[in-house]
């Protein structure tokens, strides 16, 4: 490239102003599309989980008072971006009735990394198939070497109309020692 | 800081690169006419940025493409702006490309040694057209779908390989998921990739040969930075401001939401007479109208190919004496010709009643589906297209105008606001079964008009005689009783528009029911809430309700209705002229039973 014949168009001050102006306009040109894109990118941050009320999960007849946890699907309305689903499975819970008649509900999601735990009837424990966390029947961590930071998440459960089992279904942030609803 | 920069410079050599980039020589100093190329690079940059963010929200399949775009447009914060920028900058690129090409040809910048420069530019132009064409389909709305269908179907006209080529492009024998996945891969992957490669070559060659100075030089040479950069930046800013202005214009002038439109979702079963390519392809669309039958391949491929070939040969033509003049003249003729064809296309459409109606209907459908998609029920997994297909407000008038208006009317028109060609020869069904409608039916001065029984066989029937003779002679007391009967019969319909008042007037309705049987004399011919084997008129139990209407439309000559006295009304259901769903849609529409908007008219902006 040949060296240009520098022109002194109006002196240094004018040149400086032009430099400032060109840079400023350049910044606007970059920022407008970038900001429009970033605003859309960050849109998920303003979304919140719809506060779910209690849902009917099963009846007491399906839940003998024998201490043994049983798994039930939770059917509720769900929203996925533009689609709305009515009465679809949104998760699952382990329910059990103790011999003393107490009703307990646990979310099946392992609080470590979110896998679904299995109930092993022989060992009387919940075992996570992913990283071997194990939980006692009441949901507490059974083995100190479990990578899970807390026990299985208990859920509010109540009996309505003498036989219907209603659970307030919620998911919680994985990996934390405290239960924080997502 | 300086040490870090030095370290980086020793490895990357950024100082030299920056110097080369900024101190490129501008012969004769900065000029506005050199800014076109930069505005195009700016547009491309905007398209890359906005495109990638759109990509994060877009789902290419025939049940999610429109839906995800609707979501971007209406639910995501700032989504309308992002999509608007991407859309409008695509248009801006076409305009700027034409201007850039003109400037290059006028200034002779295509001549040796810049032939490759010119040719890469021409390929870039084709790529931009390719991006426009593929991008037009992606929202999967009626307009994009039908326009793309027409455009791609032209491929089939290519000799020998045409049909195979078409299958490859649309991903099968029909338009659907694979058309979208392919177009999207082309639009967001293949074409932009090719574009970057060619743009690098284009700019590198431009740098190698330098700017083509416009002679005579007005000023001494100057570096690119800062005078030319400033001019380029201002030109880009002008493009940006223009685009933003167009996007917010609807809000500034108070007509509607900002941003760009999104049509109704693509429906391959719903003909769309408003299908047109985008404005920059209209000239080609118009051009094709002049090629009858099998000669279409001439208009679609051969002639455009020859013209483009001639443009590509410009660097050689330009070597001859007068060659440059020919090139300039040729390009202008071409642009003026394209302009005239575009004007012709627009004028033809403007006076084409079918097209105008189709556009109006398209606007209405677009508006309606937006309302439905935003309803609490939302968009079903089967896609937004089913929202319109199952919507009484959308389908009712369409079915009515196709099947019912050879006799009936709806508020004096065909349901869609048009005037039917057949004369009205049966009742006007707007507000059917409402108190108002029944009041008219039982009005001695109105029952004999065409809006009720006037033009039918029933015009000389028992009902008309009853109303014109007996009702006309009613005492004020009887007239009041009749009013109560009207309220009671109308309540049978359970119309949405009367639900509130019906709920308030339970006692009045009860009274009216009693008077129906003993009082004004309706029960002499009509059955009402109990079987009456002697009834000669239609059974009015549940009159105007959905079940009653569906049954009536299915078979008006049924013993519960007109029986043998039925006039010309066909048994739409029994004879299979309409499906059960269609009859249900018409019934719901006549009853005003739909989500949201007051009426079809209310949908018009």
Task: Give yes or no for residue B599 having a pLDDT over 80.
Answer: no
pLDDT at B290: 92
For residue B219, give how far its alpha carbon lies from the nearest alpha carbon of chain A (Å).
9
- The 10s digit of each residue's pLDDT in B117-155 is 999 999 999 999 999 999 999 999 999 999 998 888 888
The packing angle between helices B580-590 and B392-403, to 10°, is 100
The answer to whether the beta carbons of residues B462 and B525 sit under 8 Å apart is yes
Q: Which tokens hold the place of B57? A: 């929200």
Q: What pLDDT does B597 receive?
A: 67
Q: Pick B221's closest partner by Cβ from A4, A29, A34.
A: A4
CA pair distance B140, B134, nearest whole angstrom: 11
The hierarchical CATH code for the domain A54-168 is 2.102.10.10
Q: Which two tokens stand for residue A134?
A: 């194990």
Binary contact (B237, A79; C-beta < 8 A): no
Domain-by-domain residue ranges, chain B? 22-275+351-358, 416-603
pLDDT band at B254 (very low <50, low <70, confident <90, very high): confident
Confidence of residue B110 (pLDDT cuts 50, 70, 90): very high
Q: Which residue of A lies nearest to B47 if distances are taken between CA atoms?
A: A33
Mean pLDDT of chain B: 92
The shortest C-alpha distance from B226 to chain A (Å) reads 6
Numbered residues of chain A with Cβ closer than 8 Å to any chain B Cβ? 1-7, 9, 15, 18-19, 21-22, 25-26, 28-29, 32-34, 36-41, 43, 46, 79, 81-85
- Split at pLDDT 50, 70, 90, the class of B605 is very low
In terms of C-beta density within 10 A (0-12 exposed, 13-18 middle, 19 or more buried), how is residue B570 classed? middle
**pLDDT exceeds 70 at position B237:** yes
Return the CATH number of the domain spanning residue range B22-275+351-358. 1.20.810.10
Q: What pLDDT, on the 0 to 100 scale, is given for residue A4?
A: 47
Query: What is the per-residue pLDDT across B482-505, written as a single tens digit (0 to 9) for each?
Result: 999 999 999 999 999 999 999 999
**Given an 8 Å threshold on Cβ–Cβ distance, is A40 in contact with B49?**
no
Mutate to test the interface with A, among B71, B217, B230 (most CBs of A within 10 A): B230
Chain A positions touching B244 (Cβ under 8 A) are: 32
Cβ–Cβ gap B53/A19 under 8 Å: no
ipTM, two decimals, is 0.83
Give chain A positions within 8 Å (CB) of B377. 84
What is the arithmetic mean of pLDDT over B184-196?
A: 97
CB contact under 8 A, B233 and A85: no
Q: How confident is the model at residue B21 (pLDDT cuts 50, 70, 90)?
A: confident
- The mean pLDDT values, 10 residues at a time, for chain A of 182 residues are 46 85 95 96 86 85 92 91 89 93 93 93 93 93 91 94 92 90 86
pLDDT value for B90: 97
Cα dihedral B410→B415→B419→B423 (10° resolution): -40
Percent of all residues in chain B with a pLDDT value above 90, rounded to a whole number:
74
Q: Which of B36-40, B298-302, B521-525 has the highest mean pLDDT?
A: B36-40
B52/A2 Cβ within 8 A: no
Contact A84 B56 (CB under 8 A): no
Tell me the CB-side half-sphere exposure of residue B21, using CA atoms within 13 A: 8
Q: Give the torsion through C-alpha atoms of B229, B231, B233, B237, to 10 deg.
A: 180
Residue A147: both structure tokens together: 């990578």
With a pLDDT cut of 70, the percent of chain B lying above it is: 99
Instruction: Report the residue of chain B nearest A24, measured CA to CA.
Output: B233
* Contact between B486 and B512 (Cβ < 8 Å): yes
Average pLDDT over residues B14-34: 86
Better pLDDT: B207 or B578: B578
The reply to whether residue A19 touches residue B236, judged by beta carbons under 8 angstroms, is: no
Are B79 and A40 in contact, with CB atoms under 8 Å apart? yes
Torsion angle defined by CA atoms of residues B212, B216, B219 and B224, in that order, rounded to the nearest 10 degrees: -10
Q: What is the pLDDT of residue A50?
A: 66
């Amino acid at each position: 490239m040949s060296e240009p014949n520098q022109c002194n168009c109006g002196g240094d001050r004018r040149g400086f102003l032009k430099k400032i102006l060109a840079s400023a306009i350049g910044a606007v040109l970059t920022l407008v599309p970038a900001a429009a894109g970033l605003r859309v990118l960050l849109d998920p941050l303003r979304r919140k989980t719809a506060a779910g009320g209690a849902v009917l999960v099963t009846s007491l007849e399906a839940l003998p008072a024998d201490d043994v946890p049983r798994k039930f699907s939770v059917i509720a309305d769900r929203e996925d971006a533009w689609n709305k689903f009515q009465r679809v499975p949104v998760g699952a819970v382990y329910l059990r009735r103790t011999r003393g008649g107490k009703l307990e509900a646990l979310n099946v999601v392992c609080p470590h990394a979110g896998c679904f735990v299995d109930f092993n009837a022989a060992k009387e424990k919940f075992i996570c198939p992913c990283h071997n966390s194990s939980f006692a029947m009441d949901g507490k961590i059974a083995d100190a070497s479990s990578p899970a930071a807390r026990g299985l998440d208990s859920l509010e459960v109540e009996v309505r109309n003498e036989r219907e089992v209603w659970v307030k279904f919620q998911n919680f942030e994985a990996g934390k020692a405290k239960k924080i609803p997502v | 800081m300086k040490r870090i920069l030095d370290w980086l410079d020793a490895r990357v050599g950024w100082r030299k690169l920056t110097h080369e980039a900024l101190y490129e020589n501008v012969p004769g100093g900065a000029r506005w006419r050199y800014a076109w190329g930069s505005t195009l690079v700016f547009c491309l940059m905007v398209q890359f940025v906005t495109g990638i963010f759109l990509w994060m929200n877009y789902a290419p399949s025939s049940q999610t493409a429109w839906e995800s775009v609707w979501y971007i447009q209406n639910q995501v914060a700032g989504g309308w702006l992002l999509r608007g920028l991407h859309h409008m900058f695509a248009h801006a690129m076409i305009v700027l490309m034409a201007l850039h090409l003109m400037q290059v040809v006028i200034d002779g910048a295509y001549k040796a040694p810049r032939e490759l420069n010119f040719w890469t530019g021409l390929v870039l132009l084709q790529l931009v057209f390719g991006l426009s064409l593929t991008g037009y389909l992606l929202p999967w709305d009626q307009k994009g779908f039908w326009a793309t269908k027409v455009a791609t179907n032209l491929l089939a006209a290519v000799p020998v390989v045409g049909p195979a080529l078409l299958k490859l492009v649309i991903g099968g024998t029909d338009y659907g998921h694979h058309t979208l996945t392919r177009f999207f891969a082309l639009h967001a992957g293949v074409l932009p990739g090719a574009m970057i490669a060619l743009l690098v070559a284009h700019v590198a060659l431009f740098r190698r040969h330098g700017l083509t100075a416009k002679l005579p030089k007005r000023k001494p040479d100057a570096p690119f930075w800062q005078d030319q950069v400033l001019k380029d930046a201002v030109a880009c800013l002008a493009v940006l401001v223009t685009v933003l202005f167009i996007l917010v214009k609807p809000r500034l002038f108070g007509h509607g939401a900002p941003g760009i439109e999104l049509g109704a979702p693509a429906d391959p079963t719903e003909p769309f007479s408003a299908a047109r390519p985008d404005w920059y392809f209209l000239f080609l669309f118009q051009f094709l109208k002049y090629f009858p039958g099998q000669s279409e391949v001439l208009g679609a491929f051969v002639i455009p190919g020859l013209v483009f070939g001639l443009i590509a040969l410009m660097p050689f033509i330009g070597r001859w004496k007068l060659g440059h003049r020919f090139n300039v003249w040729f390009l202008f003729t071409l642009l003026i010709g394209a302009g005239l064809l575009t004007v012709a296309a627009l004028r033809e459409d403007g006076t084409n009643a079918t097209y105008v109606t189709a556009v109006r209907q398209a606007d209405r459908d677009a508006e309606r589906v937006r309302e439905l998609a935003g309803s609490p029920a939302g968009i079903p997994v089967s896609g937004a297209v089913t929202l319109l297909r199952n919507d009484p407000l959308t389908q009712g008038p369409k079915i009515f105008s196709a099947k019912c208006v050879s006799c009936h009317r709806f508020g004096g028109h065909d349901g869609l606001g048009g005037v039917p060609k057949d004369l009205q020869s049966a009742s006007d069904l707007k507000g059917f079964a409402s108190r108002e409608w029944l009041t008219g039916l039982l009005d001695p001065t109105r029952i004999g008009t065409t809006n009720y029984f006037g033009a039918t066989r029933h015009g000389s029937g028992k009902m008309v005689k009853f109303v014109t003779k007996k009702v006309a002679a009613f005492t004020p007391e009887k007239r009041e009783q009749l009013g109560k009967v009207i309220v009671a019969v109308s309540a049978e319909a359970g119309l949405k528009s009367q639900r509130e008042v019906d709920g308030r007037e339970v006692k009045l309705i009860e009274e009216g029911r009693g008077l129906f049987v003993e009082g004004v004399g309706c029960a002499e011919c009509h059955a009402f809430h109990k079987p009456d084997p002697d009834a000669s008129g239609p059974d009015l139990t549940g009159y105007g309700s959905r079940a009653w209407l569906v049954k009536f439309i299915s078979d008006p000559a049924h013993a519960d209705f007109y029986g043998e006295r039925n006039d010309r009304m066909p048994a739409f259901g029994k004879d299979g002229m309409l499906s059960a769903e269609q009859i249900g849609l018409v019934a719901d529409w006549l009853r005003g039973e739909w989500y949201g908007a007051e009426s079809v008219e209310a949908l018009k902006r």
